[in-house]
């Protein structure tokens, strides 16, 4: 999980992200970035996630905690 935030930052095309950053506040938050995050989580953490589930998370930290608790 140590690379989780750096992968999210890369997808969102920013230098870094923090636990408290609101996902929808990023300039590059769109359907393509959402799909890229879903694909990364599936590939890297063996966790299938729907777009509906992804948008239920408000912050990067909430998303990371869910992946930690449910991924491999």
Domain boundaries, the chain: 4-70
2-38 tens-digit pLDDT = 799 999 999 999 999 999 999 999 999 999 999 999 9
Task: Report how far apart, in Å, the C-alpha atoms of 20 and of each of 28, 55, 63, 72 are.
Answer: 17, 15, 11, 24
State the pLDDT at residue 72: 82
Whole-structure pTM value: 0.92
List the CATH code of the domain at 4-70: 1.10.1200.10
Q: Tally Cβ neighbours within 10 Å of residue 4.
A: 19
d(CA 27, CA 48): 25
pLDDT surpasses 90 at 67:
yes
pLDDT surpasses 80 at 53:
yes
Distance spanning both ends of the chain, measured CA to CA: 10
Q: What is the mean pLDDT of residues 54-64?
A: 97
pLDDT surpasses 90 at 45:
yes
């Amino acid at each position: 999980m140590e690379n989780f935030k750096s992968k999210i930052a890369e997808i969102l095309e920013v230098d870094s992200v923090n636990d408290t950053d609101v996902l929808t506040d990023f300039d590059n938050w769109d359907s393509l970035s959402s799909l890229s995050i879903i694909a990364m989580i599936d590939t890297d953490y063996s966790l299938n996630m729907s777009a509906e589930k992804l948008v239920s998370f408000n912050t990067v930290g909430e998303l990371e905690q869910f992946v930690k608790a449910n991924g491999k």
